Structure 1
């Protein structure tokens, strides 16, 4: 994973944490199909059935890091994730591209450990580039989600804008309509 491309690791971290029953009310990562869907488009290897439970456990670790009180705690936790399968960073260049840092993983490492390294590097990149204050709880009433805001403006408020943000917008719209009709 390119270290400078921490946003990809954060995107996966946010998606992973949002699958939790704590956030959704029910397990959104119950089986191999759901895990395959989550990982699609991230350039990672295909999961097998045995990976589902391990990735569910990883989800708890990632959430714990996003809920830390200090940057030092977040860095320590992300470093542990990175160390599960990450090797020493290397400088590499793809043809026609500039040099970039990459974090290779141990050959044959379990998928959950590869994901831990990918997400850990993303979390470290976010702390370094944006600061620990970008790790936030969801602002939607009743939602227990957490996320890392890597938006340019740093104003993201919801763990799942398309769900939590939309739900709140619909509720506000309905409240305004009730006020105008009464």
Structure 2
């Protein structure tokens, strides 16, 4: 796998989405219960990891990704920038090789981080996530690692939005739940006022 450094939001998005597949966050159980669900997760994110080019993820791959999910959550919950950087460095070292300068499709020089040939799926994913989280801290700051604001949610995320105002780990789920609750509360107030 070859990870472009300018594409740190991809790694940060994968980090957020991976952490929020946890049964700790989801009320409907584990979001990655089977190797097939891991295949779907990788496809949804457009990830073509070298470890699964010709093979489907195994139960062992899934187990290792579940362990990675805990590590990533720990990084997103760090109290300091230095802790976040140290954690992300640990992830990148699992499969990443030295950065390389290569021309992109528009013939511009870009930094890339390749992964080691034969690296396991979880290690390649760790390198991608590590590079993404390092990019978030470098470009946007550690303050972009946040906890979900939805009541009762234990989700965390890396906010890579331009404005930096994201409030929910899964806007389509938590944000919608909050909006529905607020709407119902307004409706209740209106019915009492009448």
CA positional deviation for 1:28? 1.1
Q: Which residue does the alignment assign to 1:18?
A: 20
Give how far 1:181 is off: 1.2
1:124 counterpart = 2:127: no
Q: 1:152 aligns with which of 162, 178, 183?
A: 162
| Distance across 2 between alignment mates of 1:56 and 1:97 | 38
Aligned equivalent of 2:36: 33
Name structure 1 gaps, 5 residues minimum. none
| Separation of aligned partners in 2, 1:64 and 1:142 | 19
Deviation at 1:34, TM superposition (A): 1.1
Q: How does 1:47-62 map to 2 (within 5 A)?
A: 47-49=56-58, 50-62=60-72
| Separation in 1, partners of 2:107, 2:187 | 53
Q: Would you identify which runs of 4 or more consecutive aligned residues in structure 1 move more than 3 Å?
A: none
Cα offset, 1:10, TM superposition: 0.4
Shift of 1:95: 3.2
Number of residues of Structure 1 aligned to a counterpart in Structure 2: 182
Deviation string 1:106-163 (CA, Å, 9 cap, x unpaired) is 1000000000000000000000000000000000000000001000000000000000
Q: Which runs of 5+ in 2 are unaligned?
A: none
| Residue matched to 1:43 | 47
Give the TM-score taking structure 2 as reference length: 0.91
Residue 175 of structure 1 pairs with residue 175 of structure 2? no
Q: Please provide the CA RMSD for this pair.
A: 1.0
1:98 aligns with 2:108: yes
Deviations 1:12-61 (A, max 9, x none): 00110110011003211110121111111433233412311110100000
Aligned counterpart, 1:165: 175
